Each structure stands twice: as structure tokens, then as C-alpha cells.
Amino acid sequence: MNRYSEMLVLVRAVQDGSFSAAARNLGCTPSAVSKTIARIEDRLGALLFSRTHRAISLTREGEAFYTAALEAIAAVESADAAVFAGTAPQDRLRVRSMPIFAQAALAPRVPDFCRRHPRLAVEVQLRMDPGHLLDDGMDVAIHVGHLQDSSLVARRFASTRWIICAAPSYLLAHGSPSHPDDLARHTCLNFIAGIAASTWFGRDGTPLDIRARVVTNQASMLMELARTGLGIVRLVELQVADDLAAGRLVELFPDHQCLDEDPIFAVYESRRHLSARVRAFLDFLDEAFADPPPWRHWRGAVPRLLLSDAPRPS
């Protein structure tokens, strides 16, 4: 293993927080990572990591080497970029995305991206599990909502808000709530407890009192259940925009809806020079979801069922 490869292993171990996590992302064994670090330490005559049974941390010498390693890696990438800048991206782009965004917003636009970059294969993984967003060799992760502090770069390219809505069939059968306080007397469909989106908010940002009859961990299932008229749902605008425009769903008490926007980020490694494939995808996201994003088209549409047409509960 050359010194450049050794530096990549060390940087991965630092950013992932353990030798075992680095090994998973590098496709090798924890023993191989440990031996590589030991080889660097033997060559330098200095201890780079303080090791405990639970975690690793950099020594002062390790911090100095880590900083220098990042600069060296950036220099190598800069040299590559000087030769390959402007060439068509190729290889395989690996993207991790929240299911909501992938299914409702990304999937309809992937064909256009593929047509633009015929030599680039695309792998999209739909995941909501916690942990490092770029585990398993992901190039880019798409995250809806606010992010915790990280060494990764987070590039905001769009935003969306949450909308409380219901199918016309539900409103005709049970009446239309005119205020968030009315939700306590209605059947709601919700995410399982523990998912941040399971808490509903009104215009002033206060949590709402709701009664959930069915709960799930997938927004796509909530969408399908809402369409059947089973209950009232709260979903992101990017998912329900087409249904709101067509009247399959109706926004409830629009004057009392929370207007806060959740940011949508593209997350990638904190490196000075991006690969051609990542740069192409980031540019595509900026273009495909330029402000205003495509899911706001419904706001000027007239739904098939007006709220005033729905019967009030007796």
C-alpha cells in the first residue's frame, strides 16, 4: 500500500470514528485498517491514535498528521482534476436518499440525468436509518430536514413544508375541520412515535393534539391510506402536490397551516475537489429543483372539492 492509500485509510478512520466503521466503508477488515495505522505510526515513530475499548481519538501528533493528510489528498485530487477537468463523468454514482424525496421527486427526474450522462451508472439506496450518511461508499446523500453538525459538506438545494390534508371522500363522510383544534375529534394517519415527523404543528409552531388510528414508518403508505379516505394526514408538499392540484387531496384550514420550510440538502465528503460524477449530480439537483421548486405548482390550482362543499359534523 502506498502512502497516499495509507492517508486515505487514516482519514476514513478519523471521519468514521472507528477502525471497524472505516473498514466497512473501505471494503476491508478492521485488522487491515489497524495494521495500516500501525505501519504509519512505526514509520513516523509517533502514536497517532489514543485507543480505548469503545472509541479512538487523535493524539496531538495524530491531529497534525490528519491535517497534513487532508491537504495531501486534496493536492492529489487537484492534480487529477487538472488532467480530467471537462471530461464526461463516468463510473458509478451512488446516492442515498430519504424514501419520501426519492420516490416523489427524484425518481421522475433520474431518466433525464441518465440521458445527459450515458456513461454514468446510477445506484440509489432508500434509507432512513441513523448513522453516517455516507456509509457503504455513498457519494451523495439527500436529507430532508435539519442536519446535525458534521465534517461533511451540506449543500441546500431546495426546501419543502408539511401540509395537513385529507381526501374528499373523508371530508364528505366526516366533515371538514376548520381549525387545528378540531383534529382531536377526527381520525388521523401518522408516523410511528419516535419519528420526528410524527409531531404535527400549527401556524404558531405549537404541537397539535391528534388521534392516530393507523401509524407506519413509511410516508408512501400514509399517502395511499389518505387517498382511500381513511383519515387526515400530514405529509411534505413535494409528495402531495400533484394530488392537491388534482383534488385527490384537499389542504385543510390553510390559514392555520404551519408555513415553516424544511431544508433539503445534498451531503457529500468535505473535499476541495469533487469527482466529475458528484459534480454532475449536484449541478443537476440545482437545475431540477431551482427556486421555486416544482412541487409548488399546485398552489394556483382549483381543487375539485372546495372545503365549503364538505358537510360539517353534526
Residues 135 and 7 placed together within one structural domain of the fold: no
Residues 75 and 100 placed together within one structural domain of the fold: no
Query: What is the extent of the structural domain holding 159?
Result: 87-314
Omega into 89 within 30° of 0, i.e. cis? no
Q: What is the pLDDT of residue 53?
A: 65
Cα 296 to chain centroid distance, Å, stands at 19
Is residue 231 exposed (0-12), middle (13-18) or buried (19+ Cβ within 10 Å)? buried
**Cα–Cα–Cα angle for 88, 92, 93, nearest 5°?**
90
How far, in Å, are 128, 184, 290 from residue 238 at the CA level?
Answer: 17, 26, 13
The tally of domains found in the chain comes to 2
CATH number of the domain that residue 162 is part of: 3.40.190.290
Q: What is the pLDDT of residue 273?
A: 64
**Domain boundary residue, one of 84, 106, 131:** 84
Q: What is the pLDDT of residue 152?
A: 82
Q: Which residues pair with 215 in a beta bridge?
A: 190
Q: What is the pLDDT of residue 165?
A: 97
At residue 55, what is the residue type? A
Integer Cα distance of 294 and 135 in angstroms: 30
Residues 22 and 67 placed together within one structural domain of the fold: yes
Residues 65 and 95 placed together within one structural domain of the fold: no
Residues 107 and 49 placed together within one structural domain of the fold: no
Q: What is the pLDDT of residue 212?
A: 94
Residues 126 and 140 placed together within one structural domain of the fold: yes
Residues 36 and 166 placed together within one structural domain of the fold: no
- If DSSP codes are grouped into helix, strand and coil, which group holds residue 122? strand
Evaluate the CA torsion angle 177, 178, 183, 188 in order and state its sign: positive
Residues 55 and 158 placed together within one structural domain of the fold: no
Give the Cβ contact number of residue 139 at 10 Å: 19
Flag residues of the chain having pLDDT under 70: 53-54, 80-90, 130-131, 149-150, 270-273, 300-314
CATH number of the domain that residue 59 is part of: 1.10.10.10
Q: What is the pLDDT of residue 309?
A: 38
Q: Can you read off the three cell numbers belonging to residue 101?
A: 424525496
Residues 299 and 177 placed together within one structural domain of the fold: yes
Residues 15 and 150 placed together within one structural domain of the fold: no
**Domain boundary residue, one of 84, 110, 138:** 84
pTM (2 decimals)? 0.66
Residues 268 and 308 placed together within one structural domain of the fold: yes
Residues 150 and 73 placed together within one structural domain of the fold: no
**Domain boundary residue, one of 53, 84, 115:** 84
